[in-house]
């Protein structure tokens, strides 16, 4: 497997210092490809033409300073290497966006700090990029929410409004809405805004307050809104962030709408959490907890595929604690011990799990057990639990049923916001699929690496220019190439290699 190498730009107008840094990094055998620049113009030209992962720059560069590099780096981490006594300059550079600074000393002990500084800068940059991507996803979610979202200053200047709020208030665009003062023009005279903002300043948030707003054409609407205060580190108010929903025509469905908003919030949080989870077990556990909150029925089962024996088993269940002993007695076995092979299912039964929707399962527990449990025993267990219907939804990975959700409903139980529940299950399935793919990729890469390293046949991989990317020990022995020769051989083109082979 090819080792990923980070591109480092080293900027120093002192050739001795530049050579010392390069020599130290080479000696450490770090995965860096270092490019030198001996002057500020050369450095700026190189930054324009190439992409670097980290820039190491002396602060004083003759034609200018490292700040000129920082201003042209375009977000690339910059680490300053400054002389003793330049701490104030280094602090200024950090305030302007530098990632780190290292103080030079005559004995060059500062060189030992370079690998750590570079590694920390790379990790910080990766975290920043992940944050930007997360914010992009969050903004995309806000843009598609059916409820209005806004940010406004204490003076009423609108900083942000999503399309739903613009539409709700009858404006043509955000720019059109931003021309008005939210407090003076969008909130009607009947709005208790003095008490509203006093509560925000005092408590930090206001929840589910029904107020009267006014649209662009003067029409009055009833809005259910929540808001919170966002403060700076010194406690001063940066802005208010609010959520607003027109409930004028939905007063009779108030409770249903409240539930809908809560589930949207769960959906938003679920998306973020699933994307950040490390392991498949955690995703299955979180899926069960979220679905448990969304469905009114007391009984929930999460199943998952066990690669070790190729069966589907109960991974976790909720609601059975008090009756588990009696259910076990009725079924003749402890439910969690039941292992079902998917090849034991009929095509119709398999389809109930893989349809991508929550579906009622004819035959209930008996069908879900692939008919391995007696029908009478299953009916007895359902009667004991008071179950009138069983619904299930599963998901596949690489064409194989990999897990599923089973909900046991009693009389009066319901899955009201079915699309939200189905979306969460599908989101969990995608997250599990990504984690599964990562596991498979790691195993594949490890296998390929082992095969290449232990092959008796010389193996190399080169790019189109003939530069060496991958090689194994057999190739080194055949070509009589030592480890010390590799840096030189790595840059040799195919024509030179062919002529060398011919001379052998």
Would 137 be classed as within a structural domain? no
CB-based contact 96:67 (threshold 8 Å): yes
Sequence-separated (6 or more) residues with CB below 8 Å from residue 356: 393, 395, 422, 426
Instruction: Give yes or no: residues 292 and 350 share one domain.
Output: yes
Instruction: Give yes or no: residues 116 and 150 share one domain.
Output: no
Would 450 be classed as within a structural domain? no
Q: What's the burial of 322, exposed, middle or buried (CB within 10 Å: 0-12/13-18/19+)?
A: exposed
Instruction: Give yes or no: residues 116 and 157 share one domain.
Output: no
Q: Residue 213 corresponds to which tokens in the numbers above?
A: 């707003």
pLDDT at 256: 66
The runs of H, that is alpha helices, within 73-162 are 87-95, 114-144
User: DSSP string of 25-61?
Assistant: HHHTT-SEEEEEE-SHHHHHHHHHHS--SEEEEESB-
- Residue 212 CB-half CA count within 13 A: 8
Would 449 be classed as within a structural domain? no
Which domain CATH number covers 162?
Answer: 3.30.450.20
CB-based contact 187:211 (threshold 8 Å): yes
The runs of H, that is alpha helices, within 145-232 are 163-168, 174-178, 193-203
* Cα-based torsion angle of the residue sequence 234, 238, 243, 248 in order, rounded to the nearest 10 degrees: 120
Residues in the chain, how many? 504
Dist CA 277 CA 260 (whole Å): 25
Instruction: Give yes or no: residues 296 and 425 share one domain.
Output: yes
Instruction: Give yes or no: residues 226 and 292 share one domain.
Output: no
Instruction: Give yes or no: residues 286 and 425 share one domain.
Output: yes
Q: Residue 404 corresponds to which tokens in the numbers above?
A: 């599923």
Structural domains counted in the chain:
4
Q: Residue 34 corresponds to which tokens in the numbers above?
A: 């270092």
pLDDT at 493: 54
Instruction: Give yes or no: residues 268 and 229 share one domain.
Output: no
Instruction: Give yes or no: residues 178 and 313 share one domain.
Output: no
Would 214 be classed as within a structural domain? yes
Instruction: Give yes or no: residues 208 and 299 share one domain.
Output: no
CB-based contact 384:370 (threshold 8 Å): no
Instruction: Give yes or no: residues 297 and 346 share one domain.
Output: yes
Q: Residue 310 corresponds to which tokens in the numbers above?
A: 């190729």
Q: Residue 160 corresponds to which tokens in the numbers above?
A: 């942000």
User: In a structure prediction context, what are the per-residue pLDDT tens digits for the chain, which is 504 residues long?
Assistant: 466 788 999 998 888 888 888 888 888 888 898 899 889 899 899 989 999 999 998 888 888 888 888 888 888 999 888 876 667 777 788 888 888 888 888 888 888 888 888 888 888 888 888 878 877 776 776 677 778 888 899 888 999 989 999 999 999 999 999 998 888 887 877 777 788 888 888 888 988 888 888 899 988 888 889 999 999 888 888 999 988 988 887 765 666 666 667 766 777 777 777 777 778 888 888 888 888 877 777 788 888 888 777 788 888 888 887 888 888 888 888 888 888 877 777 777 777 777 778 888 888 888 777 777 888 888 888 888 888 888 888 877 767 788 888 888 888 887 877 888 888 888 888 888 887 777 777 777 777 777 778 778 888 877 777 777 778 888 888 888 888 877 777 665 555 555 554 444
pLDDT at 172: 92
Find the domain containing 179 and state its range. Answer: 145-249
Which domain CATH number covers 119?
Answer: 3.40.50.2300
Would 25 be classed as within a structural domain? yes
Instruction: Give yes or no: residues 205 and 291 share one domain.
Output: no
Whether pTM exceeds 0.95? no
User: DSSP string of 456-476?
Assistant: SS--EEE-TT--EEEE-HHHH
Would 349 be classed as within a structural domain? yes
390-428 pLDDT, tens per residue? 888 887 776 778 888 888 888 888 787 788 888 888 888
Would 301 be classed as within a structural domain? yes
CA geometry: angle 359, 361, 362, nearest 5 deg: 135
Instruction: Give yes or no: residues 245 and 291 share one domain.
Output: no
Dist CA 361 CA 375 (whole Å): 14
123-177 pLDDT, tens per residue? 888 888 887 887 777 677 667 777 888 889 988 899 998 999 999 999 999 999 9
Selection from 322, 469, 316 nearest residue 386 by Cα: 322
CB-based contact 256:414 (threshold 8 Å): no
Dist CA 387 CA 381 (whole Å): 9
Bridge partners (DSSP) of residue 10 are 36, 56
pLDDT at 64: 87
Which domain CATH number covers 291?
Answer: 3.30.450.40
Would 453 be classed as within a structural domain? no
């Amino acid at each position: 497997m090819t080792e990923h190498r980070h591109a480092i730009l080293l900027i120093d107008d002192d050739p001795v210092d530049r050579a010392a840094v390069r020599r130290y990094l080479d000696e450490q055998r770090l995965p860096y490809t270092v490019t030198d620049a001996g002057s500020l113009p050369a450095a700026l030209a190189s930054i324009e033409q190439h992409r670097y992962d980290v820039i190491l720059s002396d602060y004083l560069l003759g034609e200018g300073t490292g700040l000129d590099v920082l201003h042209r780096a375009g977000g690339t981490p910059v680490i300053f290497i400054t002389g003793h006594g330049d701490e104030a300059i280094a602090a200024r550079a950090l305030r302007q966006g530098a990632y780190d600074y290292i103080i030079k000393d005559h004995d060059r002990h500062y060189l030992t700090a370079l690998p750590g500084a570079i590694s920390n800068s790379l990790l910080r940059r990766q975290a920043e990029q992940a944050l930007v991507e997360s914010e992009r996803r969050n903004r995309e979610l806000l843009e598609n929410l059916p409820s209005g979202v806004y940010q406004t200053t204490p003076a009423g200047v609108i900083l942000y409004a999503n399309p739903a709020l613009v539409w709700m208030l009858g404006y043509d665009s955000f720019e059109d809405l931003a021309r008005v003062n939210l407090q003076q023009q969008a909130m009607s005279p009947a709005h208790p805004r003095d008490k509203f903002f006093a509560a925000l300043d005092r408590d930090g948030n206001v929840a589910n307050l029904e107020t009267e707003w006014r649209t662009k054409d003067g029409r009055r609407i009833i809005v259910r809104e929540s808001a919170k205060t966002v403060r700076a580190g010194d406690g001063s108010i940066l802005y208010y962030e609010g959520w607003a929903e027109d409930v004028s025509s939905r007063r009779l469905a108030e409770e249903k709408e409240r539930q809908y908003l809560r589930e949207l919030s769960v959906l938003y949080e679920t998306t973020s959490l699933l994307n950040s989870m490390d392991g498949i077990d955690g995703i299955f556990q979180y899926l069960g907890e979220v679905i448990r909150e969304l469905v009114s029925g007391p009984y929930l089962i999460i199943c998952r595929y066990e690669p070790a024996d190729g069966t589907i088993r109960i991974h976790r269940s909720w609601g059975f604690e008090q009756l588990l002993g009696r259910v076990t007695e009725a079924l003749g076995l402890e439910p969690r011990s039941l292992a079902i092979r998917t090849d034991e299912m009929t095509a119709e039964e398999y389809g109930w799990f893989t349809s991508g929707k929550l579906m009622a399962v004819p035959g209930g527990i008996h069908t879900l057990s692939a008919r391995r449990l007696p029908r009478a025993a299953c009916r007895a267990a359902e009667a004991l639990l008071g179950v009138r219907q069983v619904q299930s939804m599963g998901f596949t990975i690489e064409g194989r049923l990999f897990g599923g959700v089973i909900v046991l409903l009693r009389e009066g139980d319901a899955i009201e916001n079915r699309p939200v529940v189905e979306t969460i299950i599908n989101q969990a399935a995608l997250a599990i699929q990504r984690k599964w793919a990562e596991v498979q990729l790691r195993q594949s890469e490890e296998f390929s690496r082992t095969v290449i390293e232990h092959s008796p046949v010389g193996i190399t991989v080169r790019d189109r220019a003939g530069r060496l990317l991958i090689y194994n020990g057999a190739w080194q022995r055949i070509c009589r190439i030592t480890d010390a020769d590799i840096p030189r051989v790595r840059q040799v083109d195919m024509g030179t290699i062919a002529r060398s082979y011919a001379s052998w």
